[in-house]
Amino acid sequence: MKRRNILKLLPLSGTIPFFGFRLTENPPTTGCATTSDIEGPFYIADAPATTSLAPIGAAGEVCFITGTVYYNDCTTPIKNALVDVWHANDGGGYEDDHYRGRVWTDDGGNYSFRTILPGKYLNGNQFRPRHFHYKVSKDGNNELTTQIYFEGDTSIPIDPWASNESAAERIIPLTVDDYENLHGVANIALNIAAPMTTGIEEGVNETPKRSHILNVVPNPFRANGVVEFFVKNPSEISLECYALNGKMVKKIIDKKYFTSGLKSIEIDTNNALDLKMPSGLYILRLLENDVPTDAKRFVLL
Ligand SMILES: [Fe+2]
C-alpha cells in the first residue's frame, strides 16, 4: 500500500527538551530571497563534506532532498554554493558525528543529499515540527540560516517559527516512491544580486555533461513561453513544473523518448486541471530516465 499523508501517520518521537534559541542576524530579505529562521543550539562548523548525512542502517524513513540555490532574482542559479545541513535523528536527538553534512551546488546550482526524516523533539512542553537546519552561502558571504519544514506536520501550527508567515514557502511536500523512500525539493534563494552576464557564457563550446535546461524564452512571459533544453543521450525525458512551495503544477513532458540534441517545447500555461496558472514564479525540473538533472525558474505574468 502506498503511504499517503505520511507525516500524519508517523508517531511522535524524541523526548529531548532544550531551550536557548537565538535569533539569527541575516540581512533583511529582499525580492524573493528565502527567509531566515532561528539557528538553534546544535550547529557545528566544518561538518563532513558528504551527501549522505545519516549513518548506514540508521533508523528512520529514508529521505532524498534536492534543490537549487539561486541569486535573489530567483532565476539565476549559484554554482558552488555551500549548503550546510544538520538535523535531528529519528529519535529527535542531535548527534555530533552524524546527521550533518556540507554539500556544494553544481554548475546548475543544484544540490542533493540523502538522509532520514528528522525526528521530533520537545521544545518546552511542545514538539517542534520535523525540520532540517540549513546554512547556505556563496564564498562565505551572505550566509542564510534557515529551516525547512514538511507539509502535513501537525506540530507546525503550534510552533512559533514554523507557523510564522515568513516560513510558508519553506514548508515543502514530501512524496513517496515505489521503494518507500521520501523525496522533497527545497529551493533556496540567497540575498545576493545576480551577476551581469556578458553574453559569452562559460563552457559554451564544451560538450554538455548531461541533459539540461538552456532557457525559458521569453522570461518572464504571459503566453507562448518556450523552454529550450538539451538531451545529452537518447533517453526518456520528463519536464515537470512546480510552484515555489514545491507542489507539482503539471507535467509538461511525461516520460517521452527523445533523441539527443537541442529541443524546445511550448509551455502550456494551463495547469493539470486545465485552469490558467496564476502569475508568479515557477520551477521547471528536467528528468532524464527518471533522474533529475536540471532545474530552472521562470516567471509567468
Ligand atoms: Fe532543530
Is a pLDDT exceeding 70 seen at residue 201?
no
Grid cell listed for 95: 548527534
- Same domain (yes/no): 12, 137: yes
Name every residue whose Cβ is closer than 8 Å to that of residue 165 and which is 6 or more positions away in sequence: none
Strand partners, 132: 87, 148
- Give residue 15 CA to ligand 1 midpoint distance, Å: 13
The secondary structure of residue 16, as a DSSP letter, is: -
Q: How far is the CA of 228 from the centre of ligand 1 (A)?
A: 40
If you write DSSP's letter for every residue of 143-156 in order, what string do you get?
EEEEEEEETT-TTS
Distance 133 CA to ligand 1 centre (A): 6
Asked if 169 and 227 sit in the same domain, the reply is no
CA 117 / ligand 1 centre spacing (Å): 12
Decide if 196 is inside a domain.
Answer: no
- CATH code of residue 134: 2.60.130.10
On whether residue 1 sits in a domain, the answer given is: no
Domain-located, residue 273: yes
* Cα of 141 from ligand 1 centre, angstroms: 23
The alpha carbon of 39 and the centre of ligand 1 are apart by a number of angstroms equal to 8
Of the two residues 99 and 276, the one the predictor is more confident about is 99
Number of domains making up the chain: 2
Q: Tell whether 266 is covered by a domain.
A: yes
Ligand 1 center to 95 CA (angstroms):
11
pLDDT, tens digit, for every residue of 72-102?
Answer: 888 889 999 999 999 999 999 999 999 999 9
How high is the pLDDT of residue 242? 87
Domain assignment of residue 197, yes or no? no
Distance 195 CA to ligand 1 centre (A): 33
Give the pLDDT mean for 120-138. Answer: 97
Domain assignment present for 92: yes
**Percentage of residues of the chain with pLDDT beyond 90:** 54
Task: Report pLDDT for 276.
Answer: 86
Pick the closest to residue 130 from 145, 147, 143, 149 (CA basis). 149
**141 pLDDT exceeds 90?**
no
Which of the four pLDDT bands, split at 50, 70 and 90, describes residue 207?
Answer: low
Whether residue 283 sits in one domain with residue 161: no
Residue range(s) defining the domain that contains residue 256: 212-300
- Classify 169 as helix, strand or coil: helix
Q: Which has more pLDDT, 18 or 43?
A: 43
- Residue owning grid cell 548506514: 56
pTM over 0.75: no
User: Could you tell me the CATH number of the domain that includes residue 225?
Assistant: 2.60.40.10
The SS3 of residue 256 is: strand
Q: Is the pLDDT of residue 17 over 50?
A: no
Regarding whether 180 and 67 lie in a shared domain, the answer is: yes
Identify the pLDDT of residue 271.
84
Instruction: Please give the residue that has the higher pLDDT: either 9 or 112.
Output: 112
Distance 32 CA to ligand 1 centre (A): 24
Q: Are residues 20 and 146 both part of a single domain?
A: yes
Residue 237 sits in the same domain as residue 113 = no
Ligand 1 center to 297 CA (angstroms): 29
Burial class (CB in 10 A: 0-12, 13-18, 19+), 40: buried
- 132 CA to middle of ligand 1, Å? 7
Residue 195 banded pLDDT, cuts 50, 70, 90:
confident
For residues 12 and 83, membership in a common domain is answered with yes
pLDDT given for residue 24 in this prediction? 38
Q: What is the pLDDT of residues 215-264, one digit of tens each?
A: 888 877 888 888 988 898 899 999 999 887 678 899 999 999 999 888 88
Do 239 and 102 have their domain in common? no
Taking CA 133 as the corner, what is the angle to CA 131 and CA 136, rounded to the nearest 5 degrees?
140
Asked if the structure places residue 170 within a domain, the reply is: yes
Q: Are 78 and 11 found together in one domain?
A: yes
